[in-house]
Every structure is written in C-alpha cells, then in structure tokens.
C-alpha cells in the first residue's frame, strides 16, 4: 500500500491555493469565488478525494461546489470517486478510462494492492466536456479548455483570468522532466502549450501537475524542450537509429543532444518511436551524390 498524505495549503494568489499530495507529489488546487468553490484535481483514491474535499472546504470556509480533473492519470483522477454532491468537470475521454487500465503507472491489480480500492469504484465527471467551458464562481469566472492532446488524451487547462493563474495538469512539470507515456501525443503537445501561453500575461503563474509554481518564461522553455524531444526522435528515426542505438548513446558517448535527462528520454523513446512509425516516418534514403 502506498503512503497517502495531504500537505499544507499554500496561498498562490488571492483566493487561489495549492497543496501537495502523496503518493506521486501531485499538486491539487483550490479556487475560491464569492459563491462557488472549485477543487482542481482529486488525488489517488476515493478516500483521499473525500479527505481533500473536506480539507479544501476548511480553507474556503464553505463546501466545494465544483471539481475539475485535469486528465485521466491516477494521481489526478481517482479521488473523484470519493467526492459527491458537486458538479465535476473533466474531458469526455475520462469516460473511456474508468476500467483503470489506461494509466501507464498503474493497472487494476496495482490499484487494489497499492491504492487500496477496487477500480470498479471509479466514476467519470458529471459534466464531461470537449473543448471549452466557463464556470462562474461568483465575481470570478474560471475557463477550462482542452487545447489538444499532449501529455495524455484528456488534458485540460484551468485558467483564472482575474488572478492570472493557470493550472496545467501534467502538461507542465517542474519537479522533473515532463512524463511521456503510451497515451501521450508529443507532436501536438507544444501547440497546446502555445494556446495557453497566448492567453497569458507576462506575470501569469502556472501551477504544474508536479513541482513548484512556474513563470511564463519557464513554460516557454519547457514548450521548446518538448518540441525538441519530438524533433530529435524524428531525426534519430530518419538516421536509421534503433531505440537500442539511442539508449546506448544515452549511456555512452551522448552524440545525440536531448533536452531531458537520459532516463526520461529512455522512458519516452518507445512511445516516441511508436508515434513516429504511425505517422510513417522511416529511415530516409540518401540520394546518390552523382
């Protein structure tokens, strides 16, 4: 069984708080309006979700009225099943992930053993969405947008324009390199970040899925790194390098330059190569010089 805990809520900006949860050192958020109270992400199990909603209500002085799930991974999504009597919002693809088999880090057996509940308890959002949704919390409107697939197939950004704060889910990570898994869409990921950056101001704060709050500059850097990850993998395929060749280079001469740590790249390679193969990218044939 993994260890579960809820840290201390930190004030980010007026009426906006963030808390770190274990397992997975995941961030959850709280957005307080004059009438509504919104929780962003729900923790890793129904009982943690229940405790998190109670803790958020204590900070807000009122019960949680809305919950947003930023994507379908266990540490963000599985707590939703423990929170009742609220309007819950998530991408419509969450409904395809209620069997507990989509998350690259867990499967039904791991859920029972490590997270302490049965995947049949998982629930989808009461209000599944496609592209965009606005929620009026009283004196504060929250905009929830899906700007394309990136880290997963269900990524949402939660924007609070009056406070210049954006919750990014795992589209941004600051405690380690962004995680690429079987459900990631690395090619379109930078475009989705472009969308959220174009809505931002120079002093907008970005709350990542994991790690400290980031500035626009840090988001710009990570966007460029994700773009480079895709381009470099594409280059390797075109040069005829296999995954094994690339891993050998990561562990040895490092002739290929990557934007992330060797282990992060090694973890991402199978999914990058699979996506590139699906796109029809293959070793390029060199034209004879004469």
Q: What residues make contact with Zn ion under the rule CB under 5 A?
A: 73, 170
For residue 92, the minimal CB distance to Zn ion (Å) is 17
For residue 1, the minimal CB distance to Zn ion (Å) is 21
Task: Tell me whether residue 78 or residue 117 sits nearer to Zn ion (CB atom).
Answer: 78
Closest by CA position to 56, among listed 33, 29, 89: 29
Would you state the structure tokens that stand for residue 166, as one six-digit string? Answer: 């954006």
Q: What is the DSSP string of 216-261?
A: HHHHHHHHHHHHHHHHHHHHHHHTT--HHHHHHHHHTT--S--SS-
For residue 71, the minimal CB distance to Zn ion (Å) is 6
Task: Tell me whether residue 55 or residue 152 sits nearer to Zn ion (CB atom).
Answer: 152
For residue 218, the minimal CB distance to Zn ion (Å) is 18
Dist. CA 236–CA 242, nearest whole Å? 8
The residue count of the chain comes to: 290
Would you state the structure tokens that stand for residue 77, as one six-digit string? Answer: 């999504």
DSSP state of 261: -
Dist. CA 201–CA 215, nearest whole Å? 10
Task: Tell me whether residue 69 or residue 137 sits nearer to Zn ion (CB atom).
Answer: 69
For residue 206, the minimal CB distance to Zn ion (Å) is 16
Task: Tell me whether residue 17 or residue 76 sits nearer to Zn ion (CB atom).
Answer: 76
Strand order in the sheet with 165-173: 132-136, 141-145, 157-160, 165-173, 205-210
Dist. CA 82–CA 52, nearest whole Å? 9
CB 9 within 8 A of CB 19: yes
Task: Tell me whether residue 119 or residue 150 sits nearer to Zn ion (CB atom).
Answer: 150
From the number of C-beta atoms within 10 Å of its C-beta (0-12, 13-18, 19+), residue 163 rates as middle
For residue 152, the minimal CB distance to Zn ion (Å) is 6
Task: Tell me whether residue 74 or residue 273 sits nearer to Zn ion (CB atom).
Answer: 74
């Amino acid at each position: 069984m993994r260890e579960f805990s809820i840290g201390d809520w930190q004030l980010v900006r007026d009426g906006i708080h963030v808390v770190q949860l274990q397992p997975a050192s995941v961030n959850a958020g709280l957005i307080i309006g004059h009438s509504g109270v919104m929780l962003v992400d729900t923790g890793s199990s129904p009982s943690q979700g229940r405790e998190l909603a109670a803790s958020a209500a204590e900070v807000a002085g009122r019960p949680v009225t809305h919950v947003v799930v930023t994507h379908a991974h266990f540490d963000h999504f599985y707590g939703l099943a423990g929170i009742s009597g609220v309007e819950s919002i998530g991408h419509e693809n969450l409904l395809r992930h209620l069997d507990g088999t989509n998350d690259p880090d867990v499967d039904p057996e791991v859920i029972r053993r490590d997270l302490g509940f049965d995947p049949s308890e998982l629930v989808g959002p009461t209000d599944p969405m496609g592209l965009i949704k606005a929620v009026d919390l009283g004196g504060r409107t929250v905009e929830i947008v899906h700007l394309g697939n990136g880290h997963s197939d269900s990524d949402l950004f939660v924007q609070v324009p009056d406070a210049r704060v954006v919750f990014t889910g795992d589209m941004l990570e600051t405690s380690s390199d962004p995680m690429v898994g079987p459900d990631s869409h690395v090619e379109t990921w930078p475009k989705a970040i472009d969308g959220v950056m174009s809505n931002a101001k120079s002093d907008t704060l970005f709350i990542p899925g994991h790690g400290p709050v980031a500035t626009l500059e840090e988001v710009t850097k990570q966007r460029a790194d994700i773009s480079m990850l895709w381009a470099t993998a594409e280059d390797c395929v075109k040069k005829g390098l296999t995954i094994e060749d690339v891993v050998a280079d990561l562990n040895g001469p490092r002739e290929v330059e990557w934007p992330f740590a060797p282990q992060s790249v090694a973890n991402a390679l199978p999914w990058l190569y699979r996506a590139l193969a699906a796109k029809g990218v293959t070793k390029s044939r060199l034209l004879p010089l004469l």
